[in-house]
């Protein structure tokens, strides 16, 4: 019972803060709501027994990407503007299209005959993920590291002032 | 604990919100936030199908690669946005129309 309550509280936190990310007129408020969305999604991962991915979500999204986004905001707006506002355009048409897409997706989800395999709760996923990464997915793992290096060099080269 | 449809619908709602952000925002950083929401919605689907498909850990691996992609994408996109700001003095994507003129 308590677990169900916590689950729906996390769902509410995730969806409301995600809505605030796209509706707020203040860029800093959007960034802070994004923080709560990421934390809520990490909570949902915990409910789906994905402990390693939940920790990765907190470390990389909250600790890395969000800090990067806030750096981006600070570097691209005059810091004297305390209220960094940003307007939205064509909200009506955008909302209409988004709601139509949501209705289509929900109809597809509800009517599809998903084949669910019930399995016991695992005691931890880290060992299994490690084995898969080092055996079945070794090449994508190495390619991802090369991609990270390329992005590091590329981003540093792009963001440098002057040529 | 809960059924698959709950998680899929949460993912669909997050995807729709992210899409709404991408198509209505003018600020490039806000558009980037919408893209992050869409990537997270995809991740929720990967983890949900992994959980309700017999605890198949391949879904977790894919979610991890999506997170790596998101980090790469955020770094490069912000470098591009900072360049845009240095060149044009704005980060509004509808004002970056020098090619059209």
Tokens of B81: 């946005």
pLDDT of residue A143: 95
Domains and CATH numbers, chain B: 4-92 (1.10.287.3510)
What is the arithmetic mean of pLDDT over A133-159? 92
Strand partners, A88: B25
Q: How is chain A split among helix, strand and coil, in percent rounded to 5? A: 75, 0, 25
Of B16, B47, B67, the CB nearest to A101: B16
Contact assessment for residue A40 and residue A34, using Cβ atoms and an 8 Å cutoff:
no
Q: For residue range A48-81, what is the model confidence (pLDDT) as tens digits?
A: 989 999 999 999 998 889 998 888 888 877 655 5
Percent of chain A's residues with pLDDT above 90: 53
Per-window interface: A 44-103 vs B, CB < 8 A: 44-45, 47-50, 52-53, 56-57, 60-61, 64-65, 68-69, 71-73, 75-77, 86-91, 94-95, 97-99, 101-102
Q: For residue range A21-55, what is the model confidence (pLDDT) as tens digits?
A: 998 888 888 999 999 999 999 999 999 989 999 99
Contacts of B37 in chain A (CB under 8 A): 18, 21-22, 34, 37
A80–chain B nearest CA distance, Å: 15
pLDDT of residue A96: 92
A132–chain B nearest CA distance, Å: 8
Rounded CA separation A132/B78 (Å) = 32
Phi, psi angles (nearest 5°) of residue A155: -65, -40
Contacts of A114 in chain B (CB under 8 A): 4-5, 52
What is the arithmetic mean of pLDDT over B49-72? 91
What is the distance, to the nearest Å, from the Cα of residue A80 to the centroid of all Cα atoms in its chain? Answer: 30
Q: Does A140 touch chain B (CB under 8 A)?
A: yes
Rounded CA separation A33/A38 (Å) = 9
- B70 contacts A18? CB cut-off 8 A: no
What is the arithmetic mean of pLDDT over B58-74? 93
What is the arithmetic mean of pLDDT over B73-99? 85
Q: Does A107 touch chain B (CB under 8 A)?
A: no
Of B15, B47, B85, the CB nearest to A50: B47
- In chain B, the largest separation of any two C-alpha atoms, in whole Å, equals 57
pLDDT of residue A102: 94
Give every CB contact of residue B82 below 8 A, 6+ residues apart in sequence: A72, A75, A76, A158, A159
Chain B CA closest to residue A39: B40
Q: For residue range A3-20, what is the model confidence (pLDDT) as tens digits?
A: 899 999 999 999 999 999
Q: Is the pLDDT of residue A154 over 80?
A: yes
Chain A CA closest to residue B41: A41
When pLDDT is cut at 50, 70 and 90, the band that residue B66 belongs to is very high
Q: Is the pLDDT of residue A142 over 90?
A: yes
């Amino acid at each position: 019972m308590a677990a169900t309550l916590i689950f729906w509280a996390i769902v509410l936190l995730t969806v409301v803060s995600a809505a605030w990310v796209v509706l707020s007129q203040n860029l800093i408020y959007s960034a802070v709501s994004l923080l709560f969305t990421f934390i809520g999604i990490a909570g949902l991962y915990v409910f789906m027994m994905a402990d390693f991915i939940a920790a990765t979500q907190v470390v990389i999204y909250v600790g890395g990407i969000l800090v990067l986004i806030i750096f981006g905001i600070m570097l691209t707006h005059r810091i004297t503007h305390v209220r960094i506002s940003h307007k939205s355009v064509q909200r009506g048409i955008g909302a209409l299209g988004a709601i139509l897409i949501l209705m289509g997706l929900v109809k597809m989800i509800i009517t599809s005959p998903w084949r669910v395999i019930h399995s016991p709760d695992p005691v931890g996923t880290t060992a299994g993920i490690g084995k898969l990464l080092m055996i079945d997915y070794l090449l994508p793992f190495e390619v991802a590291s090369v991609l990270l290096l390329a992005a590091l060099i590329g981003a540093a080269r792009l963001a440098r002032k002057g040529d | 604990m809960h059924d698959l449809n709950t998680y899929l619908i949460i993912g669909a709602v997050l995807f729709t919100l992210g899409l709404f952000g991408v198509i209505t925002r003018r600020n490039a950083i806000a558009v980037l936030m919408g893209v992050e929401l869409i990537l997270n919605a995809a991740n929720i689907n990967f983890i949900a199908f992994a959980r309700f498909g017999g605890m198949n850990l391949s879904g977790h691996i894919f979610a991890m690669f999506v997170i790596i992609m998101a980090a790469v994408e955020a770094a490069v996109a912000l470098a591009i946005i900072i360049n845009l700001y240095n060149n044009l003095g704005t980060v509004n994507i509808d004002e970056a129309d020098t090619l059209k003129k």
